[in-house]
Amino acid sequence: MLGQDVVAAAATAGHEVLALSRVDLDITDAVAVRGAMTDAHPDVVVNCAAWTDVDGAEGRVEDARTVNGAGAGNVAAAAADCGAWIIHISSDYVFSGRKREAYLETDPTEPLSAYGQSKLDGELAVGDAAPGRHTIVRSSWLFGTAGACFPATILRLAAERDELTVVADQVGCPTYTGDLAHALVGLCERPVAGVLHVAGNGACSWYEFATAIVERAGLPCEVKPGRTEGLGRPAPRPAFSVLDSERLAPRLPHWRDGLWQYMALRAEMAGAS
C-alpha cells in the first residue's frame, strides 16, 4: 500500500525508481538483498517492506522479528555498503500508549505487543547497520487505495449493515499513504538523520474515524462506540499513540483531508473499472 504510493510519488518527482516486491526480493535473505543493492547501486533506499499482521505476530513472534527486525537490518546494511541513505518505516506501536499527550521522538519506547517489539528491533537494527546515514520514520494508522485498510473495511461493512460498533478507547493519527509518500520522497531529496514522527495531523479514535467515513459516504449505517476489551484480539494495542515531532519533520495534512482524498480517488478508480 505505502510502497506503491512511494513509487508513484518518486516517479512524479522525476526520480528513477526501482521497485522490488516480496516476489522480487525477500528482505530476510541477506545475500539476496546485498546482491540487489549492488546491482542497483541506489542513492536512497526506502524500505516499506514489513510484517504488518499485528495479531498474527503474537503467534509467530520469530517470523515477525525476522522480517521487521533482521530484515530491516539486512536492507540498511546493504544500503550502507553501497553508500546509499536508508529510510526505514516504523510504527507508533513502539510506544505503550500510556502517555496522555503526543509522543515525541525522544520519548522512551515500550512496546506492548510482539509486533511492536519487532518494529523496535528494526529501528535498532537500522541504527546499528547504517550509523549516521539513516532516517527512521514512525507513522501510524496507515490507509490508502493500494491495499486493504480501515476505511475500505468500514465502507464495505457500512454498506452491508444498519449498525456498526467501533472501538472508541484507542486514539491515534490516521495517515493517508498518498500524503506520507510525498513526505518520504521529500526526505529522499533532503535527508534528515535519526528518528522522525510523520503522521496525519490531528487525532481521533477509531470510532471517530469510522463515523467520519460513514458520514462522508452518505451511508445510512449507525456507528456506535465500543471498547477494545470487547474485541478479544490477541495483541494488545496502545490506547493513546498520537505522534508529534520536535524535529524538522515533514508536516502532513489533517487526517480528514487525507480521508477526503482517499475517498475521492477510490470513487474515481471504481468509476474507471
Name the 3-class secondary structure at 135: strand
Measured between alpha carbons, how far is 95 from 85 in angstroms, rounded to an integer? 26
Catalytic center residues? 115
- Residues 85 and 71: their CA atoms lie apart, in Å, by 16
Percent of the chain with pLDDT over 70: 100
Specify the DSSP class assigned to residue 106: T
Residue 181 has phi, psi (to 5 degrees) of -60, -45
Question: Tens of pLDDT along 172-187?
Answer: 999 999 999 999 999 9
pTM: 0.96
- Rounded to an integer, the average pLDDT of 189-196 is 97
Q: Summarize pLDDT for 8-36 with one digit per residue, the tens.
A: 999 999 999 999 999 999 999 999 999 99
Kindly state the average pLDDT of the residues 88-105: 97
Domain positions in the chain: 2-272
Mean pLDDT computed over 95-101: 96
% residues pLDDT > 90 (the chain):
96
The closest alpha carbon to 170, from 254, 123, 86, 237, belongs to 237
- Give pLDDT, residue 19: 96
Distance CA 198, CA 141 (A): 11
139 pLDDT more than 80: yes
Angle between helix 255-272 and helix 177-189 axes, rounded to 10 deg: 110
CATH number of 2-272: 3.40.50.720
Q: Which residues of 77-93 are buried (b: 16+ CB within 10 A; e: fewer)?
A: bbbbeeebbbbbbbbbb
> How far apart are the C-alpha atoms of 49 and 72, rounded to whole Å?
8
Positive or negative torsion for Cα 164, 170, 172, 175: negative
The grid coordinates listed for 62 are 520469530
The per-residue pLDDT for 231 is: 82
Of residues 135, 118, 147, the one with CA closest to residue 58: 118
Find out whether 121 and 68 touch, Cβ atoms under 8 Å.
yes
- pLDDT at res. 194: 97
Tell me, what's the pLDDT at 273? 67
84, pLDDT greater than 80: yes
- Show Cβ contacts of residue 106 under 8 Å, excluding neighbours closer than 6 positions: 246
The SS3 call for residue 266 is helix
Q: Say if residue 154's pLDDT is above 90.
A: yes
**Alpha carbon distance 131, 119 (integer Å):** 18
- For residue 230, what pLDDT is reported? 83
Structure confidence at residue 23 (pLDDT): 94
Confidence category of residue 60, pLDDT binned at 50, 70, 90: very high
As a whole number of angstroms, the distance between CA 262 and CA 194 comes to 30
Phi, psi of 46 (to 5 degrees): -110, 115
Beta bridge partners of 163: 222
Per-residue pLDDT at 232: 84
Tell me: pLDDT of 199 over 90: yes
